[in-house]
C-alpha cells in the first residue's frame, strides 16, 4: 500500500470509530430560512427549538432590508483584509455602534467570534503574563490561549475559591499581568457567570477581566447589553468578545470590544484580523439595523424572557428535570445518552426539532436535550412543543 493510500485508510478508520462509538454527528438539511418553524429537506414543517436565533432576527424584515441596501450601496464583497482596502464607512460605523452598545471605548470586527478569541491572547499577553480561564470555557477561548505564550491557569467551573487560588498561584509565580477570562454564559448549561463577584476578585488581585458574550449580547440584562449588564458590572469589563452569528442577526462575524489602546494593538498585530477577509458589507449593514432595533426598544428581549419563563415552567410541570436558571438555553436532563437521542428523534417525528447532547460534548451521564427559546416563538408554537415533550416523555418512561 502506498503511504497516501495508508493515510486515507487511517482517516476512514477514524471516522468509522466515531460512528461505532455512536458519536457521529449528522447534519439535518433545512430548506427554509431560520424561523419559529422550519421545513426540513423531506418537506416536513417542524417547530424549531435549537437555533441561537434568540431574538428572532435571523429573518427579520428590517434586518434583511438593511442587508439588501448595503449590498446595493457597498457591493457584495471587499476582496481584501481590512488594512489593505477592506475598510468601508459601514465597518467603522458598526464598530462604533457596538462599542457604544457594549459600554466600551472601541470595537474591532473579525470574521467570527472564533477568530476574535483566536487572535486575542497571543496579541495581548507574553510569556511573563498569566491567563486564568474557567475550565468550561468555549473551544475558541481554549485554542486562543493555546496560541499565546502566556502562562496558563485553569479554575474549576464557576468556582470562585479556586479562581482566587489560581490568581494567588499566578502571583507567587511572578506573573506580570493577569487576565481572567470566562464565558459570560456557558452554552451547555445556560449558567450565567457571577461577574459581579469575579470583578471584585480581579480587582483584589490587580487582574484584568475578559468575557465571551456569544450567548448573551442582545438579550441579557434589562437593555439586552449582556451579562455585564445583567450582573451589574456594565462598563467594568476590560475585554468583551462576541458574535454577530447568534442573537445579533445570526449571519456571521465576531468582535472584540475593549479600551482604545487594546483595540489599536489588535488592529496592528492580531493575526485573524490581519490575515483574513473583512466582514461582508451586507452583514455589516444588517448588523447596524439590528442595533437600531435593539436600542429603540427592549420588546424582543422582553418577549424572549417571557417565552423562557413560560417554557421552563411548562417543562418542569410535566415532570422533567431541567438545569435551573433563567437563560433561554433550557437543558432538559435525560442523563442517558441513548434515551436523549431517542427523545430527540421522537420529538422530531412529533414535529419539534431539538438536538440531543451527550458525551463528549457534555460529561458522561449528563446527556440532555438542549432547548433554546427565541423571541419569535409564542404560545402557538410553545404549547404544541410542550405537548410533544409530554407525549414523547411518557412513551419513553422519562416522566410520569
Ligand X SMILES: *Cc1c(COP(=O)(O)O)cnc(C)c1O
Positions annotated as catalytic residues are 187, 215, 246
Among 215, 225, 231, 312, binds ligand X (CB under 6 A): 215
Enter the C-alpha cell of residue 133: 480561564
Please identify which residue in the block is written with the cell numbers 417565552. Answer: 307
Site string for ligand X, 137-156 (x = CB under 6 A): -x-x----------------
Least distance (Å) between residue 215 CB and ligand X: 5
Axis crossing angle, helix 299-317 with helix 281-296, rounded to the nearest 10: 80
Closest approach of ligand X to the CB of residue 142, in Å: 10
- Check the annotation: does 243 bind a ligand: yes
Q: Within 13 Å and on the Cβ side, how many CA atoms surround 28?
A: 18
301 contributes a contact to ligand X by CB under 6 A: no
SS3 80: coil
d(CA 303, CA 239): 29
Give 120 or 170: the residue with its C-beta nearer to ligand X.
Answer: 120
Residue 183 as a binder of ligand X (CB under 6 A): the answer is: yes
Q: For residue 256, state whether it binds ligand X (rule: CB under 6 A).
A: no
State which residue, 163 or 251, has the beta carbon closest to ligand X: 251
Q: Reading across the β-sheet that carries 178-183, which strands appear in turn? A: 106-110, 254-258, 239-243, 208-212, 178-183, 130-134, 151-155
Q: Does 312 bind ligand X (CB under 6 A)?
A: no
Return the number of the residue (207 or 214) whose C-beta is nearest ligand X: 214
Nearer to ligand X (CB atom), residue 175 or residue 279: 279
212 lies in the site for ligand X, by CB under 6 A:
yes
The C-alpha cell at 347 is: 420529538
What is d(CA 238, CA 235) in angstroms, rounded to the nearest whole number? 8
358 touches ligand X (CB under 6 A): no
C-alpha 110/C-alpha 273 separation (Å) is 6
Based on CB atoms, which residue is closest to ligand X, 48 or 112? 112
Coarse DSSP helix, strand, coil percentages of the chain, rounded to the nearest 5 percent: 45, 15, 40
Q: Is 18 exposed, middle or buried (0-12, 13-18, 19+ CB in 10 A)?
A: exposed
Sign of CA dihedral 70, 72, 77, 82: negative
Q: Which stretch binds ligand X (CB under 6 A): 160-168, 211-219, 227-235, 319-327?
A: 211-219
Give which of 208, 206, 211, 179 is closest to 195, Cα–Cα. Answer: 211
Smallest separation (angstroms) from ligand X to the CB of 333: 20
Q: How far is the CB of 186 from ligand X (least distance, A)?
A: 8
Among 118, 245, 272, 281, binds ligand X (CB under 6 A): 245
Q: Please check if 133 is assigned to a binding site.
A: no
Q: Is 370 annotated as a binding residue?
A: yes
Task: Put the strands of the sheet holding 367-372 in their side by side order.
Answer: 321-322, 329-335, 367-372, 355-357
231 belongs to an annotated ligand binding site: no
The CB-of-113 to ligand X minimum distance in angstroms stands at 3
Cβ contact 367:334 at 8 Å: yes
Residue of 78, 214, 279, 347 interacting with ligand X (CB under 6 A): 214
Q: Which of 345, 328, 324 is nearest to 382 (CA)?
A: 328
Nearer to ligand X by C-beta: 133 or 243?
243
Spatial distance between the Cα atoms of 330 and 307, rounded to a whole number of angstroms = 11
Integer CA distances (angstroms), 170 to 129, 141, 366, in order: 9, 19, 33
Q: Which of residues 81-120 bind ligand X (CB under 6 A)?
A: 112-114
Of residues 272 and 285, the one with the C-beta less far from ligand X: 272
How many residues bind to ligand X according to rule CB under 6 A? Answer: 13
Q: How far is the CB of 135 from ligand X (least distance, A)?
A: 14
Q: Binding site annotation covers 52?
A: no
Least Å distance between CB 114 and ligand X? 3
Residue 260 annotated as part of some ligand binding site:
no
Residues at the binding site for pyridoxal 5'-phosphate are 187, 243-246, 276-277
* Interface residues toward ligand X, by CB under 6 A: 112-114, 138, 140, 183, 187, 212, 214-215, 243, 245, 254
Amino acid at each position: 500500500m502506498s503511504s497516501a493510500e495508508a493515510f486515507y485508510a487511517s482517516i476512514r478508520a477514524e471516522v468509522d470509530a466515531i460512528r461505532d462509538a455512536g458519536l457521529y454527528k449528522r447534519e439535518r438539511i433545512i430548506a427554509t430560512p431560520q424561523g419559529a418553524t422550519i421545513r426540513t429537506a423531506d418537506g416536513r414543517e417542524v417547530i424549531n427549538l435549537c437555533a441561537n436565533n434568540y431574538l428572532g432576527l435571523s429573518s427579520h424584515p428590517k434586518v434583511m432590508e438593511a442587508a439588501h441596501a448595503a449590498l446595493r450601496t457597498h457591493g457584495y464583497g471587499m476582496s481584501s483584509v481590512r488594512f489593505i482596502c477592506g475598510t468601508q464607512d459601514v465597518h467603522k460605523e458598526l464598530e462604533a455602534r457596538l462599542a457604544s452598545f457594549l459600554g466600551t471605548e472601541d470595537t474591532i470586527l473579525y470574521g467570527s467570534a472564533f477568530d476574535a478569541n483566536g487572535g486575542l491572547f497571543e496579541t495581548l499577553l507574553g510569556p511573563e503574563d498569566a491567563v486564568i480561564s474557567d475550565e468550561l470555557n468555549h473551544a475558541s477561548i481554549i485554542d486562543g490561549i493555546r496560541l499565546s505564550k502566556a502562562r496558563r491557569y485553569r479554575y474549576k467551573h464557576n468556582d470562585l475559591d479556586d479562581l482566587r487560588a489560581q490568581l494567588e498561584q499566578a502571583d507567587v509565580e511572578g506573573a506580570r499581568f493577569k487576565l481572567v477570562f470566562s464565558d459570560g454564559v456557558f452554552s451547555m448549561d445556560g449558567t450565567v457567570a457571577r461577574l459581579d463577584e469575579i470583578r471584585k476578585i480581579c480587582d483584589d488581585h490587580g487582574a484584568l477581566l475578559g468575557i465571551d458574550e456569544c450567548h448573551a449580547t442582545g438579550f441579557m440584562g434589562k437593555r439586552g447589553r449582556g451579562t455585564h449588564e445583567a450582573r451589574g458590572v456594565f462598563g467594568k469589563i476590560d475585554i468583551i468578545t462576541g458574535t454577530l452569528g447568534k442573537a445579533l442577526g445570526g449571519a456571521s462575524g465576531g468582535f472584540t470590544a475593549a479600551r482604545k489602546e487594546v483595540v489599536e494593538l489588535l488592529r496592528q498585530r492580531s493575526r485573524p484580523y490581519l490575515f483574513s477577509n473583512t466582514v461582508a458589507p451586507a452583514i455589516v449593514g444588517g448588523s447596524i439595523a439590528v442595533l437600531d432595533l435593539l436600542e429603540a426598544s427592549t420588546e424582543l428581549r422582553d418577549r424572549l424572557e417571557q417565552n423562557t419563563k413560560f417554557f421552563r415552567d411548562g417543562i418542569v410541570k410535566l415532570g422533567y428535570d431541567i438545569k435551573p436558571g433563567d437563560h433561554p438555553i433550557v437543558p432538559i436532563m435525560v442523563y442517558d445518552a441513548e434515551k436523549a437521542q431517542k427523545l430527540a428523534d421522537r420529538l422530531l417525528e412529533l414535529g419539534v426539532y431539538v438536538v440531543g447532547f451527550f458525551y463528549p460534548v457534555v460529561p458522561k451521564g449528563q446527556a440532555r436535550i438542549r432547548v433554546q427559546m427565541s423571541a419569535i416563538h409564542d404560545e402557538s408554537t410553545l404549547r404544541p412543543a410542550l405537548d410533544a415533550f409530554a407525549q414523547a416523555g411518557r412513551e419513553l418512561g422519562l416522566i410520569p
